[in-house]
Amino acid sequence: MSIRLAILSPISWRTPPRHYGPWESVVSLLTEQLVRMGLKVTLFATGDSQTSGQLVAVCPRPYSEDSSVNPKVAECLHISEVFERSADFDLIHNHFDFLPLTYSGLIETPMLTTIHGFSSPSIIPVYKKYNDRNHYVAISEADKSPELDYLATIHHGIDITQFPFSEGGGKYLLFFGRIHPEKGVYEAIQVAQRVGMKLMIAGIIQDQAYFEKLVEPYIDGTTVEYLGAIGPDRRPEVLGQALALLHLISFDEPFGLSLVESMACGTPVIAFGRGSMPEIIRHGETGYIVEDMKQAVEAVAAVRSIDRSACRDDVEQRFSDARMAQDYVRAYQEILEL
């Protein structure tokens, strides 16, 4: 396949991330699959990134890991680099949110933007301005804006080989994600206390005040344990040994990589049905969609009836990185044939 592709990754974290960095993780998995498929891929990412494609970096280190890096300066230099080289590519695949769109009217090379969710409705006018000359991919049906046109909806995929199946999970309940009010850490603690099970918490602290007020007081190492941010080496064990992943969110989440990773290990998910949750979880088969805390407690009691191998099978069928890459190649071909 002779497509010359530029992929623009965020630079908040390394590509792939060492621990946290969902956008960078998706970019890395997609890039590696596309290289295997024979595309000529140039990855624009941080200088410490790892890829089988060609790496171009103007920012040596991710700004979320190196306080000496000025985020705005680094982002300007990073984004401009791909557009100044745009004539070298058949297509630019943007994973850097809305800012690169403002360069797109200055080049001839077509651009596809994966919209990894809207941080705020206030950014939609940028997408609207460039709607007619750009191509957008949604990561879930739930995250589509009625004000925009979309080329496709492409769910994220994971490298399933990195998440071995665990048949014997059930030792504890698990919260896995950002420690932030909208992710439902406090709610997970309350559910675990009501059912009398230990809760393990894994993830970066994104809201320190919330952590100190509503999470830290419950951490005793016995009923609630905080593991910190866990990397790829520990993730499969922590996910695979859980009875269930609690995902009691209070926002319309565009996608949930942690859900897919959990199910790949055989661990079902109990989640509030916000955003893309009903697209990811098959209710009664790979987990439970619940409406309130009472239903969440009831779901914990019922979750042992879920066939853990069904969770694994569903991820293999719907959420592999190979499927994700094939979907994107079809999107690239459609753009280039227009």
Alpha-carbon torsion, ordered 75, 77, 78, 81, to 10 deg:
150
Question: In angstroms, rounded to a whole number, what is the distance separating the alpha carbons of residues 176 and 129?
Answer: 37
Residues 196 and 257 in one domain: yes
Residues 76 and 206 in one domain: no
- Give 54's strand partners: 42
Residues 131 and 184 in one domain: no
Residue labelled with tokens 């393990």: 200
Residues 171 and 145 in one domain: no
Residues 74 and 196 in one domain: no
Nearest residue to 285 via CA among 297, 272, 302, 298: 302
> From start to end of 172-268, where are the E strands?
172-176, 199-202, 224-228, 242-247
pLDDT digits (tens, 9 = 90+) for 274-306: 999 999 999 999 999 999 999 999 999 999 999
Residues 9 and 150 in one domain: yes
| CA 261, 251, 293, 211 torsion-angle sign | positive
CATH of the domain at 115: 3.40.50.2000
At 20 the pLDDT is: 84
Contact between 328 and 267 under an 8 Å Cβ cutoff? The reply is no
On the question of pLDDT at 322 being above 90, the answer is yes
Where would I find the H helices in the chain?
22-36, 71-84, 124-129, 185-195, 208-210, 235-240, 257-264, 277-280, 293-302, 308-318, 321-337
Question: In angstroms, rounded to a whole number, what is the distance separating the alpha carbons of residues 307 and 69?
Answer: 47
Residues 26 and 145 in one domain: yes
Residues 166 and 179 in one domain: yes
Phi, psi of 78 (to 5 degrees): -65, -50
At 265 the pLDDT is: 97
Burial of 1 (C-beta count, 10 Å sphere; 0-12/13-18/19+): exposed
Rg (CA), the chain: 20
Question: In angstroms, rounded to a whole number, what is the distance separating the alpha carbons of residues 135 and 112?
Answer: 5
Residues 98 and 172 in one domain: no
At 170 the pLDDT is: 83
Nearest residue to 255 via CA among 63, 31, 22: 22
Residues 332 and 208 in one domain: no
Arithmetic mean of pLDDT, 4-14: 97
Q: State the pLDDT confidence band at 232, using cuts at 50, 70 and 90.
A: confident
Residues 270 and 328 in one domain: no
Phi, psi of 52 (to 5 degrees): -85, -15
Count: domains in the chain: 2
Question: In angstroms, rounded to a whole number, what is the distance separating the alpha carbons of residues 270 and 264?
Answer: 15
At 82 the pLDDT is: 97
On the question of pLDDT at 338 being above 80, the answer is no
- Domain boundaries, position 286: 160-318
Residues 103 and 234 in one domain: no
Arithmetic mean of pLDDT, 118-122: 91
